[in-house]
Amino acid sequence: MPAKAHFESTYERAVQLEQILSNTVPELIKFVNAAEKERSQHIAGGSPFANGGGHTSLVDPLCGSRESLEKTLSSNGFLALNEEGAGAQGLQRLLDSLLRYSVNTSAPGFMDKLYAAPLPPGIAAELVLGVLNTNLHVFQVSPVLSLVEKHMTKAMAKIFGLNGPRSGGVSVQGGSASNMTSIVVARNTLFPETKVEGNGAVKGQLLLYTSAHGHYSIEKAAQALGFGSSSVIAVPVDECGRMLASELERLVVEAEHQGKVPFYVNATAGSTVLGSFDPFEDIHKIAREHNLWFHVDAAWGGGFAFAAKPELKGQLRGVGLADSVATNPHKMLGVPVTCSFLLAKDLKQFKEANTLKAGYLFHDDETAQSRDISNGASKNSDDETPGDDWNEPWDLADLTLQCGRRGDSLKFFFCWKYYGTSGYSTMVDVAYMNACHMSTLVDRESNLTPVLSKGRAPDCLQVCFYFTPAGQFVHELFTESGRINVQEGGVDQTTEKSQRARLGKLNSQVTSGIAKALIPRGFMIDFAPALEGQEDRGSFFRVVVNISTVRETVERLIQEVVTVGTSLVADLKTNAGPVGLQR
């Protein structure tokens, strides 16, 4: 009876673990190695399709169809949850399918998302966390991991210029959670009565501000937290996607005149699409004047804190003025997903915003570290001078919305120790150099058009552009040749905007068509919907350069986009219209 055997051996975990890992590790090394080899091919100028095989390390083509993948994994027994255990051998077969049908994010062509190839020390830390298997809710069960979290969050807070005596932070389970937590802390700090009475305790609608290019997590959080989506005001941006501080001020003043209660502004350091950095100093000034909590979402662009180049570090000027900063080392800094911090000027606010009594977990009366907490909580929260009244909590769950917390900081800690601050600086600087290189290639390539003006260096590591065969947007091409009459069926073309949107639709379809066609060629790149006012141009590519990207990869990508795009448009021309693209 194999099941029984497996069960009995749960008392021999060291043996089991050794057996499983000795099977698993070599497969994982092979998986990473396949990606490395492909990068070497890029560098050597070879084709990944040269040596037979005909596929890249990025992803198996079967994954293109969810139905086919599901069918395959059902028929090969992968998905079956059986009465009998499959043991180590069964696990080995699982692993085979698992790796085969996963995206290899270490592949050089994975430039789709704001995270990419994981750094090896971070991977090892995942394994260590699995073995330690503890929870950073109370110090007693996670002594050294709690210390690492404290230490790393303080170090990060300092790097961002949050230098107060009570500065620090907490690790949170992702950027959305970081942003959400900052809103809770903001509300509970500015309006402590809401802790007991809820949002309704404040007369007048509570309002949050974020730029039109800010991440959707602010709206999602505001909705979850009971403010409703109407409470989130999208502040207009300039032509490069930066929040217009003057518009922020205008909107805040307007709302105040209407009896509403602006209380929170989120500024973005490295927006999701264009990578723009908001003018933090200007925003801070307005926040201070109007008593708004000033949060910076640096989930992505926060990585620039490690740059050596002053112009990159400079993008973060003013972030240190914030009340709270979210940053995700799992994005630019190559730490395995997830690793996110919410940093703060004054951690005491976190404690007071989030603490709740739970005698079965936090033993206020019994231990020294918990005694610190109860003292902290009993003091006057308005006291801005830290002193004896602030005994840092060591039971970290008391600072967050969570109870169970994984020691994610360890992953970043391992990477930082392994590469050193200077290693990280080089990685970030080189990545930006490659982004600039790509941006220059886009400018020069006659079939591509940058989303922002030519000659402009990227704000962050994203390079955004349109495919424009011979300098024309695809719809212009087809309108000229008469193959598509864009005026057809124009019942709802009353406004200029909807007319533009209709024009842009074909470009968007070509963009997504190219993105899809690039996958079997080893590149996964994302695209973003038309910018406000540029609806006729449709969606555009957003390529994310990362700390493992090499020059040769971005050069190859440019060629591939042009090749694939040209062929796709040629197909369109020979057909009666963009049939293959229409839904």
Positions 357 through 376 that interact with its own copies (CB under 8 A): 357-361, 363, 365-369, 371
CB atoms within 10 A of CB 116: 23
| Residue number with CB closer to its own copies (91 or 253) | 91
**Distance of closest approach, residue 280 Cβ to its own copies, in angstroms:** 23
Q: Interface with its own copies includes 288 (CB under 8 A)? A: no
Q: Name the residue nearer to its own copies (CB basis): 282 or 328.
A: 328
Q: Does 201 bind its own copies (CB under 8 A)?
A: yes
Taking CB under 8 A as the rule, which mask of x and - marks residues 264-283 in contact with its own copies? --------xx----------
Task: Give the residue from 479, 533, 534 showing the smallest Cα distance to 508.
Answer: 534
Q: Which of 409, 386, 286 is nearest to 336 (CA)?
A: 409
Partners of residue 170 on adjacent β-strands: 342
Of 19 and 493, nearer to its own copies (C-beta) is: 19
- Using rule CB under 8 A, residue 173 touches its own copies: yes
Distance CA 513, CA 503 (A): 17
Binding mask 323-362 for its own copies (x = CB under 8 A): -----x-x-----xxx-x-------------x-xxxxxx-
Our finding on whether 4 is near its own copies (CB under 8 A) is yes
- Name every residue whose Cβ is closer than 8 Å to that of residue 393 and which is 6 or more positions away in sequence: 351, 369, 372, 373, 376, 399
446 touches 471 (CB < 8 A): yes
CB atoms within 10 A of CB 62: 14
Alpha helices per DSSP H over 115-164: 120-132, 143-159
- Closest by CA to 545, choosing from 441, 431, 453, 467, is 431
Residue placing its CB nearer to its own copies in the complex, 3 or 457: 3
The answer to whether the beta carbons of residues 296 and 326 sit under 8 Å apart is yes
**How near is the Cβ of 498 to its own copies at its closest, in Å?**
15
CB 447 within 8 A of CB 467: yes
Of residues 46, 47, 76, 147, which one binds its own copies by CB under 8 A?
Answer: 147
> What tokens appear for 530 in the block?
């038309």
Tell me which of 341, 523, 527, 541 binds its own copies, using CB under 8 A.
527
> Strand pairing partners for 211?
235
The least distance separating its own copies from the CB of residue 66, rounded to whole angstroms, comes to 6
Choosing from 263, 419, 432, 465, the residue that interacts with its own copies (CB under 8 A) is: 419
Question: What residues numbered 436-465 form the site for its own copies, per CB under 8 A?
Answer: none
44 binds its own copies (CB under 8 A): no
Minimum distance of its own copies from residue 111's CB (angstroms): 12
d(CA 355, CA 185): 11
Q: Taking CB under 8 A as the rule, which mask of x and - marks residues 231-250 in contact with its own copies?
A: x-------------------
